[in-house]
Structure 1
Amino acid sequence: MHEVPFIAVEGPIGVGKTSLSKKVANHFQLHLLKEIVEENPFLGKFYDDIDEWSFQTEMFFLCNRYKQLEDIDSHYLGLKKAVIADYHISKNMIFAKRTLKHRQFEKYQQIYHILTADMPKPNMMIYLDASLDTLLSRISMRGREVEMNIQASYLQQLKQDYQTFMDDFEKQHPDIPVIRINGDKLDFIKQQDDLNFILDQINQQLQKGEIIR
């Protein structure tokens, strides 16, 4: 049975997920699903005091991403229209494990599994990674006020958490292709050849197996 392409782009904060997603969406004529970030009213407080505001922050993200995926399932994937998202819903667990206290995490995990049990799952993953210096530089350049207080130590931990998550993801989902991109070596914003290289990898996966455009 052929699957409608549903591509998710993931990686730590500042790595360029949205920028790449936009370019891929334009090239392959896919619907772009962008995560809600700055609209989260707790995010600025979260970076000031993670312990105090982590549960509210993570619950807001979870509920909004659930609603987004529900809409995408009804209006696009359900109608055989291809989608690329600049996040994977599983990222919620990456952040929750890092920031929530044990009892909070147990409650959060229960809610997460209930909400995501029947949500559409991507059939291709693009994983962007980059050095801590590159991430910090890009966060500074884009100048989001809510991100100005991100600590380098928190970002480094998050980067390691993502690497662990992606390694586990590939083991648990051998049928879902993962395209890994080194953001230090490939500049898909300024270098067209680098972007073409990534687009070619995506196209090869689209032509394989059961994923069709």
Structure 2
Amino acid sequence: MMEVPFIAIEGPIGVGKTSLANKLATHFGFHLLEEIVEENPFLGKFYDNIEEWSFQTEMFFLCNRYKQLEDIQTKYLQVNKPVIADYHISKNMIFAKRTLQEEQFEKYEQIYHILTKDMPVPNMMIYIHASLDTILKRIRLRGREIEQNIKATYLAQLSQDYEQFMNEFEKIHPNIPVVRIDGDQFDFVSNQEDLETIIEMVRTELHRVTLNTAN
């Protein structure tokens, strides 16, 4: 039985996850799942004072992403409708490890594992990485007011955390292909040739996923 495609796009804040997810969803005709960001009532306070508002911020994201994935499972994947998401729920642990105090993290981790143990797992990952200069430029360009106080040091550390996470992900999930995209080299928003190159990379991995599942 062929597995329905479920693609997740990941990478640090500002690398273009949502932009690429929109373009790929349109091209392949997949349902687009976008994470809830600006609706988080704690996010602005979080960027002003990470230590004080991190637990509330991370719990809001976790609960909303859990509900989104629950809906995706029943309304799309279970009825063979492909999905592309601009996040992977495991990103919660990347941020939580960086922002939560030890006691808070222990509580958060327990809740995370309870909520996600039965959640659908993507069968392809797209990982966008970029230099700090590129990330800062793209954050300025999209102009989200709540992001203007993000510290460059936080973004730099987050990029390192993502790199470590993706390296570990590939070791833990050797059967899930990871398409790595250099955000400094590929301008998939403004350059159609760059976008078409990425589309072909994704198409190749989709074919492999289909073959592996069929076998």
Q: TM-score, length-normalised on structure 2?
A: 0.97
Q: Where does 1:88-99 land on structure 2 (aligned, <5 Å)?
A: 88-99=88-99
Q: Using the alignment, how far apart are the partners of 1:210 and 1:39 within structure 2? A: 39
Q: Using the alignment, how far apart are the partners of 1:120 and 1:196 within structure 2? A: 28
**CA contact under 8 A between 1:47 and 1:147: conserved in structure 2?**
yes
Aligned-pair Cα RMSD in Å: 0.9
Instruction: Tell me which amino acid in the other structure corresponds to 2:95.
Output: F
Deviation at 1:207, TM superposition (A): 1.2
Aligned to 2:181: 181
Q: 2:84 is paired with a residue of what secondary structure?
A: strand
Between Structure 1 and Structure 2, how many residues are aligned?
Answer: 212
Q: TM-score, length-normalised on structure 1?
A: 0.98
Identity, % of aligned positions: 69
Aligned to 2:145: 145
Deviation at 1:211, TM superposition (A): 5.7
Aligned to 1:101: 101
Aligned to 1:157: 157
Q: 2:196 is paired with a residue of what secondary structure?
A: helix
Instruction: Tell me which amino acid in the other structure corresponds to 1:165.
Output: F
- The unaligned stretches of length 5 or more in structure 1 are none
Q: Using the alignment, how far apart are the partners of 1:196 and 1:136 within structure 2? A: 25
Q: Where does 1:99-138 land on structure 2 (aligned, <5 Å)?
A: 99-138=99-138
Deviations 1:12-44 (A, max 9, x none): 000000000000000000000000000000000
**CA contact under 8 A between 1:5 and 1:123: conserved in structure 2?**
yes
Runs of 4+ in 1 over 6 A off after TM superposition: none
